[in-house]
Structure 1
């Protein structure tokens, strides 16, 4: 609401009513004009805020492109003969630029925890639990990791796997979870292989009786 002011002080109702009629009408007209202009400004605020956010996002993405391109180009040169890796690097660069706000939030969160004196180390040099806030600061880069569930590159021949407890999870693998902020969360890095994965291309040895005694294992 707008109110008339004289000498830096708001006029009281009785003082305003004591003014000449011409003066009162002039003030009322000025107030009405200002209210209309203010209404127009308020109506444009959501659009202006949207444009501000868009411009800020584009600016962040532009700087992110400059910051990421050189590092990604170095990796491209190192893996120039591997098209699959080059495709992955292209996807990483595009994703970093599109999600630069995640890294900005991570940086702000780290600064706030450091300002508050929070550390991810305990007094004896150990680390705080995985679910604590400082331990989650590196999660923005987690999306670019790879999860190699089976590596037989060092094997001399076909893999031979003996599974003594052929339960469903031990055969087909499982997805593990972490407790964070009172909730169980997971992602692709927590996918664990089963015996069928480890024996792929080779041999899997099972005790048939033990297999039949495990629920749902035979169907797998």
Structure 2
């Protein structure tokens, strides 16, 4: 049997404690690293899934909703808020659908629409009209710059379209409609016979009018 002096026993004990301490420290540090790594890895997976499969889709500019103005042969002309990437058909549905006067041959219901866009649904036999906006679309799906632009016919234009003329608000637009119920406009100058429309207003809109 091997025997050790007391001094040797103390040295051996110190070495054993030291080795055990190193082994224990490595085990604890390893477990800690593994837990931290797994937690970070799980977070990365969740974030990637949220980006890839979000609750909603955004268009190229990051817009979730758009605001449009629709007029003409619909049951309720006005301004509506739609989802991004909506089409003319969505705008028509928001406006209560088409009226019996809508010219179906001049409507492209599949065309996508943009934020701040003005849409006009033509009536059967209605002349092509000028849209007085920078971002407008006629119901056939073509921007006004792509078409043969015509002037607004003051004998047939509806109130919404008349309001698009400079200086013509809702009251003056209504006055125009009431006037032509009794007497059709024989010249664009006749519009100055309407209450509230004088020489100054006429000069601002004359280049946009026709009969």
Asked if these proteins are the same fold (TM beyond 0.5), I'd say no
Q: Which TM-score applies when normalising by structure 1?
A: 0.27
Higher fraction of helix: 1
Larger Rg: 2
